[in-house]
A and B are shown apart, each in its own frame.
Chain A
Amino acid sequence: MQSFSGLSLLLHGLTGQRGWQPQWRHPEPKPAYDALIVGGGGHGLGAAYYLAKEHGLRNVAVLEKGWIGGGNTGRNTTIIRSNYLFPESAALYDHALKMWEDLSQVLDYNVMFSARGVLMLAHTVHDVQVFKRHVHANGAAGVDNEWLMPEEARAFCPLLNIGDIRYPVLGAALQRRGGTARHDAVAWGYARAADALGVDIIENCEVTGIRRDAHGAVEGVETTRGAIRAPRVGVAAAGHTSVIMKMVDIELPLESYPLQALVSEPLKPIFPCVVMSNTMHAYISQSDKGELVIGAGTDAYTSYTQRGGLHITSHALEAICELFPMFRRLRMLRCWGGIVDVTPDRSPVIARTPVPGLYVNCGWGTGGFKATPGSAHVFAWTIARDEPHPLNAAFTLERFRDGDLIDEAAAAAVAH
């Protein structure tokens, strides 16, 4: 694997940038592996990387039906934060946030993590009470989150219009360690690092069936590129998880919805942080390319189309124009949709399934990107040891039967 350094960049610059090699191989699938990961997004590629790096499982393949990072990993608004309400959630997301901080060094690949601060706006008395509850709960859990008065919020984000709007800003919760990262680089960085440890990354390979032995345990999968044997299969297929799990007759507590985002024409650096507004249904940050990255809410209905209604994005833009009047004349460049798998309690599932050897990592809903390193890390642990890591022990499928919900639904700050 080629390593990156200031010196290598300089040397390749002097030789016309012709010496770079592909960052990962494109191998043909082997007939058998020790473990398979279904889904080549950040969570799946990361899980393969941690299986190889921390659990000594190097005969591993990642099966991706399209191209890696082409699903939700490449379609989200890259917001990273960990100020969730409940202790289980805060611990899991904060595990991820701590891993983000040195991920570029660990992978030797610049994922452009930028802890620029995530500001969550309160517009109603209810918002104020909920966010203050979050601030206190996070304080008790050792997760940074602070309450700002409206003027303090405007001092942190000077473009913010706090007064003259339908839903005036009554305050904000700020997580300074939160921020953004470069979504494609996360997929590419994990792919490159996993490949270097021997993991096969197999694109254009759709899983069409799951094979089980006489005792019901997983034996392998059938794919559009032939059957592949493996005693352990981890599914990290986001919006398509229900489709995969139906192959073994498991019905999940998931519904798949389109979630849209859009970017503006590029601007000079103008927007210093991430701003989220749950009540007004919009969130915004500025990418390093200069585009404003804007997220909308989900559509009302379930769908697998990877597109949504124009009235949903239009609603988000109306909110942005109220909060940041100087953006009213800005033109939008592109918009797109991803398919997010939403659980009833808006918390993920990272767990064993009733089928021995089959593991699932799903239900991240509208906010999975932020958890990528932590989710991948504990999912690899769960697959390698056939038991959950302490951090994902509560995120089971059985919690929906037993009533042990981790109910971030009412508590989460994003628009659902």
Chain B
Amino acid sequence: MLLIHCPYCGERPEPEFGYAGQAYVARPRQPAATNLEEWADYLYRRDNTRGVHAERWRHIHGCGRFFNALRDTTSDHFLATYKAGETPPAPVRPQRGP
């Protein structure tokens, strides 16, 4: 079970949160002018990064708000969590044991 730092409420256990997928997937602004490839990009294609992944979480059973996170998908360590609209901080790798 992960411990996740909600930028509004502090550190809470994972079951309080919902995972909301890759961050910064923007809905096309002009739906009528968006072609099929662009719709497929928006709806289906994902980075699926092995490494530092920018993603969204929602503190469903807490404040209910969405926020962003940087997480290393090779270790599941959170490098940062930050409020929606904020600039992502430079990822800082946590100190690991010897």
Contacts and interface: CB of A to CB of B under 8 A. Distances in A.
A95 interface: no
Given A300-B18, A301-B55, A401-B36, A240 B50 contact: yes
A347 to B, nearest CB: 12
Interface in B27-45: 36-37, 39-41, 43-45
Contact of A344 (B43, B48, B55, B76): B43
B50 A301 contact: no
Interface in A234-266: 240, 242-243, 251-256
Contact of A400 (B2, B40, B71, B74): B40
A251 B74 contact: no
B14 A309 contact: yes
A129 interface: no
Contacts of A302: 48, 53, 55, 73
Given A301-B19, A301-B71, A309 B2 contact: yes
A304 B36 contact: no
Given A301-B71, A401-B37, A251 B1 contact: no
A169 B71 CA distance: 40
A402 interface: yes
A242 B17 CA distance: 26
Consensus secondary structure, chain A interface: loop
A209 to B, nearest CB: 15
Contacts of A214: none
Contact of B74 (A300, A304, A341, A403): A304
Contacts of B95: none
A304 B51 CA distance: 9
Given A303-B76, A305-B74, A253 B50 contact: no
B84 to A, nearest CB: 18
Given A301-B55, A309-B1, A311-B1, A252 B45 contact: yes
Contacts of B18: 300
Nearest to A307: B76
Nearest to A250: B45
Interface residues of A, number: 24
Contacts of A165: none
Interface string A293-321: 00000001111110001110000000000
B75 A253 contact: no
Interface in A302-357: 302-305, 309-311, 341, 344
B82 to A, nearest CB: 17
A311 B50 contact: no
A78 B58 CA distance: 34
B91 interface: no
B46 A255 contact: yes
Interface in B48-66: 48, 50, 53, 55
A301 B19 CA distance: 6
A402 B1 CA distance: 38
A251 B53 contact: no
A180 B91 CA distance: 45
**Which of the listed residues B40, B53, B73 has the most CB atoms from chain A within 10 Å of its own CB?**
B40
Given A251-B45, A252-B45, A401 B2 contact: no
Contacts of A402: 36
Contacts of A300: 14, 17-19
Nearest to B41: A251
Nearest to B40: A401
B88 interface: no
12 contacts: A240-B50, A243-B48, A253-B46, A255-B48, A256-B50, A300-B18, A302-B48, A302-B73, A311-B14, A341-B48, A344-B44, A401-B40
Given A251-B47, A311-B1, A344-B43, 5 more contacts: A301-B19, A303-B73, A304-B50, A309-B1, A344-B44
Interface of A: 240, 242-243, 251-256, 300-305, 309-311, 341, 344, 400-403
Shortest 4 CB-CB distances between A and B: which pairs? A242-B48, A253-B44, A300-B19, A401-B40
